[in-house]
A and B are shown apart, each in its own frame.
Chain A
Amino acid sequence: MSTNPYLPAPARIEKIVIENDEKDLKTFRLAFCNKADEAAFGHECGQFAMLSVAGAGEIPIGIASSPLDKGYVEFTVKRYPAGVVTSALHDLSEGDVVGIRGPLGNSFPMKDMPGKNLVIIGGGFAFTTLRATIRWLLSGAMRGKYGNITILYGARSPGELLYKSELEEWRKRSDVTTVVTVDKGDYAWKGRIGLVPVVLKDIAPSAVDAFCLVCGPPIMLKFTMPPLLELGFAPEAIFTSLERKMSCGIGKCGRCNVGSKYVCKDGPVFPYSKIGEFEDRGLA
């Protein structure tokens, strides 16, 4: 264990799951090579870490496993053709070693929400830290501490949904409402078809005593916020997670700011009230 915040901890790839039909989304299950690094990691829901591949570089990726998942950390990574590190990661095999630096950033303010109802809305592959949060919430230790939980998750097509077997498990549970939707179905799809904002209006979860966590592509967020506000969610009760290109992840390299806030250090989680302020002033 080093006190140098720039040094990654080595971790071995234990398992790789190809998540989608396009095969450009993979979930990497990583186990720290050193026990001390594992003990020091201890993340919270919504945090991210820098993942590195020797010789390729380092990128910020949201942590997809629950803080209660012991012995491993999971990250779901989309491969971009222009992405040097995402491509290098996708080329790795089980058993290979990568670097983890973190956990970094703030987290969803779950501690401020005991007993509250939760509405969790995700779109596409921005569902990763929400999946970490849902796993954590639905664990035996945590489920009783929160009120009603509603999950709304959408993807472009059935084949692009992440964590398919978990979605099925959650759907079978009676202590959580799970709504999955796709923009466009296929011959086998029997579930909902419709964009997330439209389905949100349809299922109309109550905003009474409730908080909302929402992560998705910018276009989804843009159209999801108005119905949320109409449902009665206050901008301070809606939390989302921002993404920016990062180098250091610790507020020094000057890259990931939106206005005066660094996404790496002051975020990635921000209340919608803050995001609205950035948008109103056109700050990027």
Chain B
Amino acid sequence: MASVALDKKNLSKLVAAMRKQGTVLGPVASGNEVVLAEITGALVPELEFANFKLPLKREFFPQCEVISRYDKNGQVEEPVMSGPVVLFGVRPCDTLSLSFLDKVFMDEKYKDPYYAKRRDNALVISLACTAPAATCFCMSTGGGPSSRLGTDILAVNLAKSILFEPVSNKGQTFVKKNKSLFRNPADAELKAQEKQEADSRNKMATVEVSRAPGSLGKKNDPAFWEGLAETCLSCGACTFLCPTCHCFDLYEEKQEAGSARLRVHDACMFASFVREASGHNPRARKGERMRQRIMHKFSYAPENFKTAFCVGCGRCVVNCPSNIDIRETIAMVNA
């Protein structure tokens, strides 16, 4: 389906239309940041920002959630799931991560009901990148500033209008349902979109992610990994902020009328991650854990899912307290 255009003065009408579909989350200014939050009242979504600090995975795979409860007789009860939601203005690198996480959580044999339900409930309207950050490298990870992977509708922010290109059936249905809001785009608008896309692409740095799986096959020297991990504080910031990291722990919490089983984000960089009750730890050394993280992303994921589990969003680069830079890591692996 071809793109449609919305004049920016009608943006609040579009928000109202989205609200009919479900709770609307979008870019909202908060202090010096733009965060993904509910668009309430007369609030209009921000359109000029780089990206949210927190990754989109949290909307589908929350940092902490109750997955079941049970009383002393062992009777289990599934929690009530949240309702329909529209995610507006998320970036293409983050929707790319959804296409990766779908491979993990929606596989045929064991479909994750919590993730799947949230995916079903969500309409994702991504916003093409106009100003990639210096740390962005999505062109090297199978994405791009206007990548359509993992989204339902791709929106493009132009000077006076926004173009909407339906990508999935869900996206088409939404555009059709609200066609009175939209008009056909002018040629000049389509040209402007093309130019914007090309400009954004040209600004994107290149990282040799595609060579990493082959290079990693030869990086068996523990000293290489210990060296890489030397400055790592094992704080977990890289994994919690990574849109594709999906390691979790299930744990039990005693409650008044029984207990609850919770699912919480976990990180392979923590020493306790694979430590067993016997005390045995298959990855006792920090270098071994660093190797696991890098191998999982750039070797095991390509082997198991035909794609590296990195979207090139640069969050880990920006937020690592000891300046470990995954772009440099990949270069060292490839060297």
Give residues in A with beta carbon < 8 Å to B: 2-8, 10-11, 33, 52, 54-59, 80, 82-84, 86, 97-99, 243-245, 247-248, 250-260, 281-284
Inter-chain contact B283/A284, CB cutoff 8 Å? yes
Contact status B247-A254, CB under 8 Å: yes
Q: Are A6's CB and B303's CB within 8 A?
A: no
Whether the Cβ atoms of A255 and B222 lie closer than 8 Å is no
B76 touches A80 (CB 8 A): no
Q: Which chain A residue has the least Cβ–Cβ distance from B275?
A: A245
User: How far, in whole Å, are A10 and B68 apart by their CA atoms in the complex?
Assistant: 13
B: number of interface residues (CB 8 Å): 52
| Bound form: Cα–Cα A5–B108 in Å | 12
**Interface residue B153 (Cβ < 8 Å from any Cβ of A):** no
B246 to A254, Cβ gap below 8 A? yes
A252 and B110 contacting across the interface, CB-CB below 8 Å: yes
A260 touches B299 (CB 8 A): yes
**Complex Cα spacing A52 to B252, Å:** 10
Contact residues, B292-306 vs A (CB, 8 A): 292, 295-296, 299-300, 303-304
Report whether B220 and A282 are in contact in the complex, using a CB–CB cutoff of 8 Å. Answer: yes
Please give the residue numbers on chain B whose beta carbons come within 8 Å of chain A beta carbons, in ascending order.
67-68, 70-76, 78, 104-105, 107, 109-114, 220, 222, 246-254, 258-259, 261, 266, 268, 273-279, 282-283, 288, 292, 295-296, 299-300, 303-304
With A10-B74, A82-B277, A251-B110 known to touch, is A260 a contact of B250 (CB < 8 Å)?
no
Is there contact, CB below 8 Å, between B252 and A58?
yes
Query: In the complex, A30 Cα to B8 Cα: how many Å?
Result: 64
User: Who on chain B is nearest to A243 by CB?
Assistant: B276
Residues from chain B with Cβ under 8 Å of A59 in the complex: 277
A-B pairs with beta carbons under 8 Å apart, 8 shown: A5-B113, A55-B258, A80-B277, A82-B278, A251-B107, A254-B246, A254-B268, A260-B304
Selected from B68, B259, B279, the residue in CB contact (under 8 A) with A6 is: B68
CB <8 Å contact, A244 and B274? yes
For residue B98, give the distance in angstroms from its CB to the closest CB of chain A: 15
Name which of A5, A52, A55 has the most chain B CB atoms within 10 A of its CB. Answer: A55
Q: How far is the CA of A252 from the CA of B247 in the complex (A)?
A: 7
Q: Is the CB of B74 within 8 A of A54?
A: yes
A54 touching B259, Cβ below 8 Å = yes
Instruction: State A55–B73 Cα separation when bound (angstroms).
Output: 12
Q: Is B249 in contact with A253, judged by CB distance below 8 angstroms?
A: yes
Q: Which residues of A contact B268 (CB under 8 A)?
A: 254
A58 contact set on B, CB distance < 8 A: 250, 252, 261
Given contacts A250-B110, A252-B110, A253-B250, contact A260 B303 (CB under 8 A): yes
Q: Is the CB of B248 within 8 A of A6?
A: no
Q: Are A254 and B274 in contact (CB under 8 A)?
A: no
The complex places the Cα of A61 from the Cα of B68 at a distance, in Å, of 21
Q: Are A248 and B250 in contact (CB under 8 A)?
A: yes
Are A57 and B296 neighbours in the complex by a CB distance under 8 Å? no
Is the pair B110, A80 in contact by a Cβ cutoff of 8 Å?
A: no
User: What's the Cα separation between A172 and B76 when bound, in Å?
Assistant: 46
Q: With A7-B78, A82-B277 in contact, do A247 and B248 touch (Cβ < 8 Å)?
A: yes
Q: Closest CB of chain B to A259's CB: distance in Å? A: 7
13 more contacts with CB within 8 A, not counting A80-B278, A253-B247, A260-B300, are A5-B111, A5-B112, A10-B73, A54-B70, A54-B71, A54-B74, A54-B252, A245-B275, A247-B249, A253-B248, A253-B250, A254-B296, A257-B296
Q: In the complex, which residues of chain A have a beta carbon less than 8 angstroms from the beta carbon of B107? A: 251
Q: How far is the CA of A256 from the CA of B300 in the complex (A)?
A: 13
